Amino acid sequence: MDVLSEQERDAVTAVQRCPSCRDKVVVGRPTEIVVHNAILRVDRFTGRVSAKCRRCKGWVEVPLRYVE
């Protein structure tokens, strides 16, 4: 997996929350992006990545992209 471009990374807020339960899913730090869950799903065609919320089990899009 590859982190998004600088423009896309700058658009990410410091904390990204699940839209359903408001639990923290992504925490942006100055040198890294932390996804608070190990279950990831990748869309084959677009390469977009989603993480499963640890509290409500919903899928949340995270600022990563899979590149072959």
- Domain locations in the chain as residue ranges: 2-63
pLDDT in tens, the chain (68 residues): 555 566 555 555 478 899 999 999 988 888 888 888 779 999 988 889 999 999 999 999 988 887 77
Count CA within 13 A, CB hemisphere, residue 26: 22
pLDDT of residue 50: 92
Q: What is the pLDDT of residue 8?
A: 57
Question: What is the per-residue pLDDT for 58?
Answer: 93
pLDDT attached to residue 64: 81
Cβ atoms of 24 and 10 within 8 Å: the answer is no
d(CA 41, CA 7): 23
Whether pTM > 0.75 for this model: the answer is no
